[in-house]
Amino acid sequence: MGLDSREYVYQRFSEFYKDPANAVPAPPLPHKREFGYLTFKEKFMVRHRRFEQIANFRTVLADTVPSDVYHSCAYYENPDFDMDKKGWIGSDVVFDIDADHIPTSCNKIHDEFRCVKCGFEGRGLTPEECPCCGGTKFETKIWACDLCIASARDEVAKLLDMLEKDFGFSQDEVRVFFSGHRGYHVHIESEVVRSLDAMARKEIVDYVTGLGVAVLEKEDREQGARRKKKLSKKFNLHNYGWNRRLKVGMQTFLENASPEDLKEVGLRNKALLESKDTIIKRAITEGKWESIQGVSVQTWLKLAEHIREVQAAKIDTVVTTDIHRLIRMNGTLHGKTGLKKVEFKPKELQTFDPFTGAVAFKKGKVKVLVSDAPEFRMSGETLGPYKNQTLELPVAAAVLLICKRRAEVVP
């Protein structure tokens, strides 16, 4: 980012935080939380700040103009003390769902990474370790397209369904946010979850991601072919939690599957589709899994395993288990996009459009030189694709492209 462009974005961020209309909402019990932010120009992380009044923090935001703003999910006796002396009281349960962790068909098109150590380059999901040198630092150029957002949204839908139906949280207890980049945050701030330790949170993560969901014990799976009769008695799904999810998932799959879908799952059993109504009724509804000729319990196991993968919610597991985690603050700007983290109602998940609802800069235009940008949407307008073009863009679109290092302001 050139100096002029950086100054331009800084000025827009500054205006945003100085405008009382953008006053950031306070999280519950702000005086018990740690606040932190990344300084705009030096990219220095300021942490361990405590504010008795949220108004004081708003003043800090207006004065310092950070690029990214965070607060702890945890509550502390002394949020401004060193980590080991803070006095942990409890923590919200937080889920992070980000296209960074979901293999989408679009990341091969718009995401690039380059190993800082050896220069190895590639497209798609950034690996954890460089396949050439084992390095773990990468320069990335990533984009957020509608498909990325839609993939993340599908995962959120699964998560919300589990939180409501399997864990019993009400819609009022679950807060959903667009993260400001290409994902979502789900917060549960009820008192009942605050005291959960890291182990308990790991259990929640395992449940949500379907880890360890086994419809049969390992030895039974291995002996499957030989002890068919006995096995069918053990393959018995009840109507709650993951068991129900597997049953509903298998039924939906069979109702809609093409022969190609079956093949993809590794099933070549044509009988499954030819008489699917009977199969669904006898096996899934009545639980007589072994009663259909040519459809073995092994087939059901294979299908159940596929459904488990499909139904699991792909969350960033580290975020949920970390009881000291900092999370982006609601109502603040994302330094990589200029979009806001914003809350919406769980029931609005399918209709909330980040490229409208999270737009922070709604007025004005600015002349920019765009080096390279795919087609994108902003405030209801479709823009791009652009390649080495000088043009006037709405401020929100220009800020996005500058933050993504795809454009520079033309002075």
Q: Is 69 left (phi over 0), alpha (psi -120 to 50) or beta?
A: beta
Nearest approach in angstroms of CB 316 to Zn ion is 17
Q: Return all residues near 63 (Cβ < 8 A) that are at least 6 apart.
A: none
Q: Answer yes or no: are the C-beta atoms of 278 and 303 closer than 8 Å.
A: no
Q: Six-digit token pair at 379?
A: 């405030």
Nearest approach in angstroms of CB 125 to Zn ion is 11
Nearer to Zn ion, 148 or 193 (CB): 148
Nearer to Zn ion, 148 or 396 (CB): 148
3-state class (DSSP) for residue 90: strand
Nearest C-alpha neighbor of 287 from the set 336, 335, 236, 351 = 236
Nearest approach in angstroms of CB 394 to Zn ion is 21
Question: Which residues would be at the binding site for Zn ion (CB under 5 A)?
Answer: 106, 115, 117-118, 120, 130, 132-133, 135, 145, 147-148
Nearer to Zn ion, 91 or 126 (CB): 126
Q: Which residues pair with 115 in a beta bridge?
A: 138
Nearest approach in angstroms of CB 398 to Zn ion is 21
Q: What letter does residue 365 receive in the DSSP assignment?
A: E
Q: Return all residues near 48 (Cβ < 8 A) that are at least 6 apart.
A: 34, 36, 79, 80, 81, 82
Nearest approach in angstroms of CB 285 to Zn ion is 39
Q: Six-digit token pair at 302?
A: 């294979």
Q: Six-digit token pair at 180?
A: 């400001």
Sign of CA dihedral 94, 96, 97, 103: negative
Nearer to Zn ion, 133 or 214 (CB): 133
Nearer to Zn ion, 287 or 374 (CB): 374
3-state class (DSSP) for residue 334: coil
Distance CA 320, CA 317 (A): 6
Give all strands of the β-sheet with 121-123 in edge-to-edge order.
121-123, 112-115, 138-141
Nearer to Zn ion, 69 or 149 (CB): 149
Distance CA 90, CA 112 (A): 39
- The string of DSSP codes covering 43-64 is -PEEEEE--SSHHHHHHHHHHH
Nearest C-alpha neighbor of 10 from the set 43, 58, 33, 57 = 43
Q: Six-digit token pair at 201?
A: 């949170």
Nearest approach in angstroms of CB 99 to Zn ion is 6
3-state class (DSSP) for residue 36: strand
Nearest approach in angstroms of CB 119 to Zn ion is 7
Nearer to Zn ion, 92 or 155 (CB): 155
Nearest approach in angstroms of CB 50 to Zn ion is 39
Nearer to Zn ion, 147 or 280 (CB): 147
Nearer to Zn ion, 182 or 194 (CB): 182
Nearer to Zn ion, 99 or 304 (CB): 99
Residue 209, φ and ψ in degrees, nearest 5: -90, 0
Nearest approach in angstroms of CB 208 to Zn ion is 23
Distance CA 142, CA 124 (A): 9
Nearer to Zn ion, 104 or 251 (CB): 104
Nearest approach in angstroms of CB 141 to Zn ion is 13
Nearest approach in angstroms of CB 118 to Zn ion is 3
Nearest C-alpha neighbor of 166 from the set 208, 196, 199, 194 = 208
